[in-house]
Amino acid sequence: MAESSDKTAALTDAVGVLAALGIGHALIGGVAVGVHSGIPRATLDVDLAFSSTAPRPRLIAAFLEAGFRLVGEFAHSVNFRHASGEPVQLAFDRAFDAMIERAERFEVGGVSVPIVSKEDLIAMKELAAADPSRRRSKRLRDEADVALLRGDVPDPDEGW
C-alpha cells in the first residue's frame, strides 16, 4: 500500500488509541480498499469502524489526549484531525460489530491493523452504492471500489 506517511501515521496513531482502550475496531473505506486490492486508492480520510457499545465520551477524551482535534460529532460518527492534518473518521453502527469480529490483520507502518474482510467491504460498498440519497459521485466511487475489489485491477501498461 502506498499511502502518504501522514495518512499512515494518522491510521497507526488512531489504531493505537483504540487498542489501548480495548475497543474493537477495524479499518473501512478507501484505505481498506487500497490494502485489499493492492492498488493505492485516493481518499480524503482514514475511516475506522468501532464497536457500537464503546463509550463515546471515553473514546473522544482518549483521542483528544493523544493529540487529535475533534472536528465534528454526528449520529453515527465522530470526526477528528490527526496532528499531521489528516482527517480521521470513526464510524459506529451495530452492523459493523460482526464485521469487526471478522476483521483480518495487516501490517501497516509497522503496526498490526485490523481491516474488515474483502467480502464485508464489498457488501458495505454495494449497500452504499444502492442508497438513492447518496451523492452520485460517492455512489460511482463505491461502484468502482466494488469492481476493484472483485479484481478489475488496472494494468499500468494497458494504455487507453
First CA to last CA distance, the chain? 24
Q: Where are the domains of the chain?
A: 5-117
DSSP 41: -
Q: Return the higher-pLDDT residue of 150 and 159.
A: 150
- pTM for this structure? 0.91
Count the neighbouring beta carbons within 10 Å of the beta carbon of residue 53. 10
User: Shortest CA distance to 9 belongs to which of 29, 39, 34, 31?
Assistant: 31
- Arithmetic mean of pLDDT, 54-81: 96
- 68-105 pLDDT, tens digit each: 999 999 999 999 999 999 999 999 999 999 999 999 99
Please tell me the predicted confidence (pLDDT) of residue 160.
Answer: 67
Domain spanning 5-117: which CATH class is it, in words?
alpha beta
User: Shortest CA distance to 28 belongs to which of 104, 94, 135?
Assistant: 104
Q: Helix, strand or coil for residue 95?
A: helix
Please tell me the predicted confidence (pLDDT) of residue 40.
Answer: 85
